C-alpha cells in the first residue's frame, strides 16, 4: 500500500486515520512505539520545514529511525536511476517518503520499491497536508460531511488534493483562481468520478460566500519561481483578508498549509486572527504523519486497526 494520492484512501480510511491522529495527539508522550526497530527514508528534492520535521519527530516518537536524504546528496544526483534507488532502499528501510518536483518520480519509486511509498509533496498533490487539514476541520466542526470549502488562489498541488478529498468526504468545494490558473480538468474529472461536484469560479467572493472553511496557499509554488513576476501581477486580489472572511459563514475558519507569504495570499490580520487555525493545522501534520506511519509501517500493518 502506498499513499501517492489522497484518492488512494477511501472515506473510511480517512476517518480511521483522523481518529488515529486524534489518539496520537491525546496521548503524546504516552502512546506506544509501533515503529520500534524500523527505519524511514525521507527523500527531499525541495526544501521543507513542516513536512521534514513533523515526519522526523513523528517517526522518532513512534520508536522508528527517520533518515533525511537530500536528493542531491544521494547517488540519484549523479545519475543513479530512481528504480535502482527504490530497489536498494527497500533492502534497508521499511517505508520511503519523497518530496519531488515531478509526480512521475513518485510513481516510479512506487513501481520499483518493495516497501510503502508516501508522497511528501509533488507538483501534482500533497496528501499528507490534506490529512492534517481534514483533521483540523473535524476539530473545528465535529464532522466533515457537507462542509463548504472555498479555495482562494492557485489551482496547485495542495488544491488538487483538497478537491479530491472533498469528493471522498462529501464536502462541497469552490475554487477561485485567476484565468489560466484553475485546477486542471484531469483533477476535476477524477473528483467527479469520486462523486464530487467541484465548482471553479474566477471571483474570490464567489468561493468565499457562506463558506465554512477558507483555504489558500502561496501564489508561487516551489518550481514556479521563474513565473514569479507574472504570478504576482495576476494573483493580487486572490487574498484571504478580513473583507473576504466577512463573506464566509459565521463560524468560518481560515487554513493555510504554510509557509505563508503574509500580505500576499493571506493578511496578518487573518493569519493572527481568531478564525485562523493555521498553527493547529501545522501541528496536525505530526499527528496525521504518526497515523499514516503506524498504519503503513506498524506491527498491525495489513490488518488490525489501520486503514487497509
Report the interface residues with ligand NVA, using CB under 6 A: 121, 156-158, 217-218, 221-222, 257
Query: Is 139 in the active site?
Result: no
Which of 20, 108, 129, 221 touches ligand CP (CB under 6 A)?
Answer: 129
Task: Find the shortest distance in angstroms from Cβ 28 to ligand CP.
Answer: 20
Contact 52, 305 (CB under 8 A): no
* 76 versus 121: smaller Cβ distance to ligand CP: 121
Q: Which of 260, 4, 224, 255 is nearest to 107 (CA)?
A: 4
C-alpha gyration radius of the chain: 19
The one-character DSSP state at 240 is B
- 218's contact among ligand NVA, ligand CP, none, with CB below 5 to 8 A by partner kind, is ligand NVA
Task: Find the shortest distance in angstroms from Cβ 51 to ligand NVA.
Answer: 7
| Contacts for 50-58: CB closer than 8 Å, 24+ residues apart | 50/257, 50/258, 50/282, 50/285, 51/99, 51/120, 51/121, 51/128, 51/129, 51/285, 54/282, 54/285, 54/286, 54/289, 55/97, 55/120, 55/289, 55/293, 57/286, 58/286, 58/287, 58/289, 58/290, 58/293
Backbone angles phi, psi at 118, to 5 degrees: -120, 130
The one catalytic residue among 159, 285, 287, 301: 285
Q: Which stretch binds ligand CP (CB under 6 A): 44-52, 159-167, 168-176, 289-297?
A: 44-52
136 counts as binding ligand CP under rule CB under 6 A: no
- 97's contact among ligand CP, ligand NVA, none, with CB below 5 to 8 A by partner kind, is none
Query: Is 159 in the active site?
Result: no
The one catalytic residue among 25, 94, 112, 126: 126
The one catalytic residue among 16, 112, 123, 129: 129
**Polymer length in residues for the chain:** 308
The one catalytic residue among 94, 133, 217, 256: 217
* 177 versus 218: smaller Cβ distance to ligand NVA: 218
Query: Is 217 in the active site?
Result: yes
- 103's contact among ligand CP, ligand NVA, none, with CB below 5 to 8 A by partner kind, is none
Query: 251 by DSSP, 3-state: which?
Result: coil
Helix H or strand E encompassing 228: helix 228-235
Which of 39, 205, 258, 261 touches ligand CP (CB under 6 A)?
Answer: 258
* 51 versus 288: smaller Cβ distance to ligand CP: 51
Tell me how far apart the alpha carbons of residues 154 and 159 are, in angstroms, rounded to a whole number. 8
* 17 versus 121: smaller Cβ distance to ligand NVA: 121
Contact 269, 241 (CB under 8 A): yes
- 156's contact among ligand CP, ligand NVA, none, with CB below 5 to 8 A by partner kind, is ligand NVA
Task: Find the shortest distance in angstroms from Cβ 122 to ligand CP.
Answer: 11
Task: Find the shortest distance in angstroms from Cβ 285 to ligand CP.
Answer: 7
Q: Which residues contact 233 (CB under 8 A, 6 or more apart)?
A: none
End-to-end CA distance of the chain: 8
257 counts as binding ligand CP under rule CB under 6 A: yes
The tally of CA atoms less than 13 A away on the side-chain side of residue 139 is: 24
Task: Find the shortest distance in angstroms from Cβ 129 to ligand NVA.
Answer: 7
Residues serving a catalytic function are 99, 126, 129, 217, 257, 285
Amino acid at each position: 500500500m502506498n499513499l501517492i494520492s489522497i484518492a488512494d484512501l477511501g472515506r473510511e480510511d480517512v476517518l480511521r486515520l483522523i481518529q488515529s491522529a486524534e489518539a496520537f495527539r491525546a496521548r503524546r508522550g504516552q502512546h506506544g512505539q509501533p515503529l520500534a526497530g524500523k527505519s524511514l527514508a525521507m527523500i527531499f528534492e525541495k526544501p521543507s520545514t513542516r513536512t521534514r520535521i513533523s515526519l522526523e519527530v513523528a517517526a522518532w516518537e513512534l520508536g522508528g529511525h527517520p533518515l533525511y536524504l537530500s536528493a542531491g546528496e544521494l547517488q540519484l544526483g549523479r545519475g543513479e536511476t530512481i528504480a535502482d534507488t527504490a530497489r536498494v532502499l527497500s533492502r534497508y528501510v521499511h517505508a520511503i517518503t519523497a518530496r519531488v518536483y515531478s509526480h512521475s518520480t513518485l510513481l516510479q519509486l512506487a513501481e520499483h520499491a518493495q516497501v510503502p511509498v508516501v508522497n511528501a509533496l509533488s507538483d501534482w498533490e500533497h496528501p499528507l497536508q490534506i490529512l492534517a487539514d481534514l483533521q483540523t476541520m473535524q476539530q473545528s466542526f465535529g464532522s466533515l460531511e457537507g462542509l463548504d470549502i472555498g479555495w482562494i488562489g492557485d489551482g496547485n498541488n495542495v488544491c488538487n488534493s483538497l478537491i479530491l478529498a472533498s469528493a471522498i468526504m462529501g464536502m462541497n468545494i469552490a475554487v477561485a483562481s485567476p484565468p489560466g490558473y484553475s485546477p486542471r480538468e484531469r483533477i476535476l474529472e477524477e473528483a467527479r468520478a469520486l462523486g464530487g461536484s467541484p465548482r471553479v469560479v474566477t471571483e474570490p467572493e464567489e468561493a468565499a460566500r457562506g463558506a465554512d472553511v477558507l483555504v489558500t496557499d502561496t501564489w508561487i509554488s516551489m518550481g514556479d519561481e521563474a513565473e514569479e513576476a507574472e504570478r504576482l501581477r495576476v494573483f493580487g486580489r486572490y487574498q484571504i483578508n478580513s473583507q473576504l472572511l466577512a463573506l464566509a459563514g459565521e463560524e468560518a475558519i481560515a487554513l493555510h498549509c504554510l509557509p505563508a507569504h503574509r500580505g500576499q495570499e493571506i493578511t496578518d490580520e487573518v493569519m493572527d486572527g481568531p478564525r485562523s487555525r493555521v498553527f493547529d493545522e501545522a501541528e496536525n501534520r505530526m499527528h496525521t504523519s504518526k497515523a499514516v506511519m503506524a498504519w503503513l509501517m506498524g506491527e498491525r500493518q495489513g490488518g488490525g486497526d489501520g486503514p487497509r
